[in-house]
Structure 1
């Protein structure tokens, strides 16, 4: 029973091991999601808006559609915060003593990661479309083109990293459910039955 694990972590109260934590697949992928969100947010916030000499107000480089830039900034910001929050939850997860609480945390990870994967898919399609239909005369100097392409590329990557997080969480959920079931079904043998040899047939 010492090796019993519930939803990917051992018994609560163990010491935190940073090296083991960093090497976990979900930690690596979650850090990638966090970095991708920073890149997307930085690209759009810094170079996503340009203005022509005769215009005073800046406009979005994605087909002059302010909604596209606002969407990318919002997604980048919320993706950054969500990744950081679940990274903190991963650190705290082994300290959660209740099996039901661990189950809820893993289920939340599955739902949120799957939702983010879908949102990034929508975002990628939206941004790619708006960039494709952008007019050259709106941005004659081609300002922010690299930032726009980077935003689209990292939005595409984010689809798969968040989907991978959902799959990893689903795997943890299945392993956790199986281990909890085995733990509940386990019955210690009667010591007397073990010590006494079976009656010999004569």
Structure 2
């Protein structure tokens, strides 16, 4: 019986497997997580630090066509992606320690749903920022530095689409992998009972016809052939 424990499921080995930091860092999923973390920081950092400029007035305006919603959108999804990358990175480290197959399945479903959603939100953010930037007049930008920040936010938003789409694909592959029953330990696998020699002999005797039954079932007129 499995007793709800996982000996190898959803892309991870048996529960309690020793953590290998080198192998963990080399995983494609870990590399994408780190890139997603860096790119999200680049997006909201560029907007917060240099995305608001003074365009002929005392009030600071969003560099994207003075549209505050564009700056707010980039900051919000960037910060949430930043936090989510750290959360899922910690979950990846803890994942092999999860002994319940159901809990592993829930974690993979959460990862798959969030990654797919954020790939879509980054796509919306890229289109939104690029559209607003195209309507921004160069004359309204007193500093070239603000232009660099705007372009950086747009570029890293586009890169984030690819990163989170890749994370979604990896999560789907992990979900489709499911639980490999061949990885369960021999102790968890049901033991097959083989008959002993005594049982085989007893079964043979029970199935063998008795002498009385043999005599009684002889056909009429049957004579025993003489012995030579």
Query: Could you say which residue in structure 2 is the equivalent of 1:86?
Result: 88
Pick the structure with more helix per residue. 1
Query: Could you say which residue in structure 2 is the equivalent of 1:23?
Result: 26
1:134-165 Cα distance to aligned partner (Å, 9 max, x none): 11232144341111111101100111110110
Q: Equivalents in 1 of 2:128, 2:14: separation in Å?
A: 45
Is 1:26–1:168's contact at 8 Å kept on the other side of the alignment?
yes
Query: Could you say which residue in structure 2 is the equivalent of 1:142?
Result: 144
Q: SS of the residue aligned with 2:178?
A: helix
Is 1:32–1:161's contact at 8 Å kept on the other side of the alignment?
yes
Q: Equivalents in 1 of 2:74, 2:182: separation in Å?
A: 43
Query: Could you say which residue in structure 2 is the equivalent of 1:51?
Result: 54
2:161 is the alignment partner of 1:159: yes
RMSD across aligned C-alpha pairs, in angstroms? 2.3
1:6-37 Cα distance to aligned partner (Å, 9 max, x none): 00111111221111111111111111101100
Query: Could you say which residue in structure 2 is the equivalent of 1:14?
Result: 17
Name the TM-score, length of structure 2 as normaliser: 0.77
Query: Could you say which residue in structure 2 is the equivalent of 1:107?
Result: 109
| Unmatched 5+ stretches in structure 1 | 197-202
Q: SS of the residue aligned with 1:55?
A: coil
| Unmatched 5+ stretches in structure 2 | 1-6, 201-228
Count of equivalent residues: 189
Q: SS of the residue aligned with 1:86?
A: helix
Q: Equivalents in 2 of 1:6, 1:115: separation in Å?
A: 24
Runs of 4+ displaced beyond 6 Å: none
Is 2:25–2:31's contact at 8 Å kept on the other side of the alignment?
yes
Larger Rg: 2
Name the TM-score, length of structure 1 as normaliser: 0.86
State the 1:65 CA deviation: 0.5
Q: Equivalents in 2 of 1:153, 1:191: separation in Å?
A: 66
